Amino acid sequence: MTYDPSLRVLTVLELLQAREEVTGAELARRLEVSPRTVQRYVTRLQDLGIPVEGKRGVGGAYRLKPGFRLPPLMFTGEEALALALGLRALQLVGLSELTPAAQAASAKLARTLPQTLRTEVSALEQVVQLDASPWVVTTDAGKLTTLMKAVRETRTVSLDYRSGSNEASRREVQVYRAVHFDGRWYAVGHCLKRQALRSFRVDRIQAVTLLDSTFTPPEFDAVAYLRSTLPTPRSYDVSVWLDAPPENLRGLVSMWMTDITAEAGGTRLRGQRENLTSFAAFLLGLGVPFRIDTPPELHAQFAELGQRCRAVTEPGV
């Protein structure tokens, strides 16, 4: 990922605030730039009215004028908590690559808060657990950043894309929106090759390049478009009787979209499932006798599983 020079200028300011004095050589090493470039960054800070003082000669160093500190950012308790939890939630939208940056931002946030508010936010963070859904797809933050820049600057992009059927293609796309939907990031816009609206999963984009050509985007609701175009998995109503009382199944049966009740000395399980193959395997894994009432398609899944089991246990038959 490339870095904006303005971000490096702010990094210089962070280092100067954290240390009494920093040498130009250390700044150059930390930022991976030349000493001359460090001088330009320092000049930029001085032009912004920040009193950076420098010592000339071998071993020259920089420091902020004694007593100078940027005024603290002012947040209410709710605002500070929203920022802290938002930074921690990046993994929930598949951006775990940004975790180090989020941790650094959290540390900066903590430094700006008054002690009382800092303690309160820290205590609240410790009692909150966030867990990424298994359906969230990890996304390359660099590609997403480039797509967002394309949207902001209304510039066309060139995509090297691989479809769900593993077909590779190159597309030029006028991206209207980058949107997180159903656990995945999508780039949605006008495909010049197809001359039509298209959506592209960001995790299937092999490379993205900003082009010079620009466009005028229309008013556009990307979420509504995705809802109307992406296939919706079929959901099955399941009803199964299990030969075990409900208390014996506690902790074994997920209660997500599921209802269990005592019935005839056993348990009636009702719910909705999209993947009947995994549900069939789950029932077998419970290790108790059961009876399938609905749907009939679940019987077919057991027949298929039986064939697969015979292929493994009786090779050549």
Domain assignment of residue 240, yes or no = yes
Q: Are residues 242 and 224 in the same domain?
A: no
Pairing mode, strands 258-263 and 266-273: antiparallel
| Three-state secondary-structure class, residue 214 | strand
The residue written with tokens 């009787």 in the block is 241
**To the nearest whole percent, how much of the chain has pLDDT over 70?**
88
The residue written with tokens 């870095």 in the block is 3
Domain assignment of residue 96, yes or no = yes
**To the nearest whole percent, how much of the chain has pLDDT over 90?**
32
Model confidence at 101, pLDDT cuts 50, 70, 90, reads: confident
Q: Are residues 57 and 85 in the same domain?
A: no
pLDDT at 258: 82
Task: State the CATH number of the domain containing residue 25.
Answer: 1.10.10.10
Q: Are residues 223 and 145 in the same domain?
A: yes
Domain boundary among 15, 40, 64: 64
Residue 2 has pLDDT above 50, yes or no: no
Residue 306 has pLDDT above 60, yes or no: yes
Range name among 123-132, 262-271, 294-303 with the lowest pLDDT average: 123-132
Q: Report the C-alpha gap between 239 and 167 in whole angstroms.
A: 40
141 or 157: whose pLDDT is higher? Answer: 157
Do 27 and 59 touch, CB atoms closer than 8 A? no
Q: Report the C-alpha gap between 136 and 102 in whole angstroms.
A: 19
Q: Are residues 98 and 18 in the same domain?
A: no
Structure tokens at 6: 């303005």
Domain assignment of residue 70, yes or no = no
pLDDT at 36: 87
Residue 39 half-sphere exposure toward CB, CA atoms < 13 A = 6
Domain assignment of residue 69, yes or no = no
pLDDT at 1: 44
Closest CA to 8 of 32, 36, 35: 32
Task: State the CATH number of the domain containing residue 174.
Answer: 2.30.30.520
Do 157 and 209 touch, CB atoms closer than 8 A? yes
Average pLDDT of 113-124?
74
Q: Which domain holds residue 271?
A: 236-313
DSSP state of 168: E
Q: Are residues 160 and 194 in the same domain?
A: yes
Closest CA to 1 of 94, 136, 86, 97: 97
Q: Tens digits of per-residue pLDDT, 239-252?
A: 999 999 998 887 78
Domain assignment of residue 131, yes or no = no
Answer whether the bond into residue 295 is a cis peptide, omega within 30°: yes
Q: Are residues 205 and 262 in the same domain?
A: no
**Amino acid residing at 242:** L
∠ at Cα 79 (78, 82), nearest 5°?
85
Structure tokens at 265: 């000395």
Q: Are residues 146 and 220 in the same domain?
A: yes
Q: Are residues 108 and 59 in the same domain?
A: no
Range name among 101-105, 194-198, 269-273, 288-292 with the lowest pLDDT average: 101-105
Domain boundary among 213, 229, 245: 229
Model confidence at 316, pLDDT cuts 50, 70, 90, reads: low
Q: Are residues 254 and 221 in the same domain?
A: no
CA 216 to chain centre: 28
Domain assignment of residue 136, yes or no = no
Task: State the CATH number of the domain containing residue 286.
Answer: 3.30.70.250
Residue 74 half-sphere exposure toward CB, CA atoms < 13 A = 1
Work out how many domains the chain is built from and give that number.
4
Domain assignment of residue 71, yes or no = no
Domain boundary among 211, 229, 247: 229
CB burial of residue 121 (10 Å; 0-12, 13-18, 19+): buried
β partners of residue 240: 269, 292
Domain assignment of residue 134, yes or no = no
Structure tokens at 83: 């920022």
Q: Report the C-alpha gap between 100 and 162 in whole angstroms.
A: 29
Residue 57 has pLDDT above 60, yes or no: no
Model confidence at 84, pLDDT cuts 50, 70, 90, reads: confident
Q: Report the C-alpha gap between 213 and 154 in whole angstroms.
A: 9
